[in-house]
Amino acid sequence: MKKLIAILMAVAMIACVFAGCGSSKAPAETQAKAPAETQAAPAETEAPKAEAVTLRIAYMPNWGALWAVSTAQAKGYFAEENITLELIPFEDGPTEIAAMESGNIDISYIGPGAHKLCSTGNAKVLLLQHLGDGDCIIGLNGLNKLEDLKGKKIGYAAGTSSETILVTALESVGLTMEDVDALSMDSTALTTAALSGSVDAVAAWSPFSLTILDQAKDATDICSNVDFAKMVSPGSWVVNPAYADAHEDILVRFVRAMYKGMDYAAAATTDDAVATEVAGYIADIISSDADTVLGQRYDGSWMTSAQVQEVLGNGELLRYYADQQATFIANGAVDGATALAPADFVLTGIMEAAAK
């Protein structure tokens, strides 16, 4: 009997040992599996990148056209939007707008004069970039007063800001285009005529005006945009209306990149380091030297994205274009009876959406 009891006790002890081992393994196995299960969790997917697009961009070879777009390109802001730029030089805004109508250009920078083609429905304003002061009347051979322009030969470029400032300047002293010998020519010919002395004055814009003032005999800067309260001179990026209707998303991406370029480069008038950097970007594009380009840094009031949003919000932006249009109508450049209202040709929605 004692042997039987001893055997039963031994069996019970062995059973307890095995039971204890079984219970201790379960948590260990659970802990071992946890990291494996965590590693097996699916990785988060990245947001899809916007569709790649190449934009053909028309510009004029000066600071006003290139200060923001060259910076945005160099800093990689367009790359962030998956946009590649093909930059194509032009001499004036009307030619750029004609190229957009023919489908050869997608987006153009224009100076003040070409904005009359927005009033006629040939283009829509995509972005207000700055208010310019790069246009001027230059007297030659000692001519230094607007009143003395009567009967004189004056070189200008029809359909551009050159014509706008000439008409405005003459009007300020009671003269019209009929009172002078106005000779229309392109920007290169304007410079040549001024340097050769074949005209008595020219209406020119930067950088041609800077060359004339530096090299022409007895050249005098008689007046510029800021001398006329009614002469609002916006520098804008514009698109063909049909292109705008079909590519809203692309235009928002373009403006978003431009805002970043503007925010960085607008400091060029007060920060020498930024000015030198931006001048280098521009010089690379137009194959010029940075020092020459740097002389144009004060040709306008360069805006930031916050300033654009401010004038959008308070209605001042549309008033800029309304005031400019009023000048065109007064000068006979635009028919007031058929002109579009600024709200119909300024894409405020794009400018707002790009800031969000």
Prediction pTM value: 0.76
Instruction: Please tell us whether the domain made up of 135-227 is placed in CATH 3.40.50.300.
Output: no
Whether residue 61 is preceded by a cis peptide bond, meaning omega within 30 degrees of 0, is no
The predicted structure's pLDDT at residue 202: 97
| Exposure string for 16-48, b = 16+ CB within 10 A, e = fewer | eeeeeeeeeeeeeeeeeeeeeeeeeeeeeeeee
The correct CATH number of 53-132+233-353 out of 3.40.50.300, 3.40.50.1820, 3.40.190.10, 3.40.228.10 is 3.40.190.10
305-313 vs 248-265: helix crossing angle, rounded to 10: 120
**83, 253 Cβ separation under 8 angstroms:** yes
The answer to whether 53-132+233-353 and 135-227 have equal CATH topology is yes
**269, 298 Cβ separation under 8 angstroms:** yes
Q: In the chain, which ranges are E strands?
A: 53-59, 83-89, 107-110, 124-132, 135-139, 153-156, 181-184, 201-205, 220-224, 234-239, 300-302
**258, 127 Cβ separation under 8 angstroms:** yes
The predicted structure's pLDDT at residue 28: 37
**255, 351 Cβ separation under 8 angstroms:** yes
Query: Residue 246, Cβ neighbours under 10 Å: how many?
Result: 10
CA distance 346 to 128: 9
The tens-digit pLDDT sequence of the chain (356 residues) is 444 334 334 434 433 333 443 333 333 333 334 444 444 444 555 667 889 999 999 999 999 999 999 999 999 999 999 999 999 999 999 999 999 999 999 999 999 889 999 999 999 999 999 998 888 999 998 899 999 999 999 999 998 889 989 998 999 999 999 999 999 998 889 999 999 999 999 999 888 898 999 999 889 999 988 788 667 889 999 999 999 999 999 999 999 999 999 999 999 999 999 999 999 999 999 999 999 999 999 989 999 999 999 999 999 999 999 999 998 998 899 999 999 999 999 999 999 999 99
Query: Residue 105, Cβ neighbours under 10 Å: how many?
Result: 23
| Residue extents of the structural domains in the chain | 53-132+233-353, 135-227
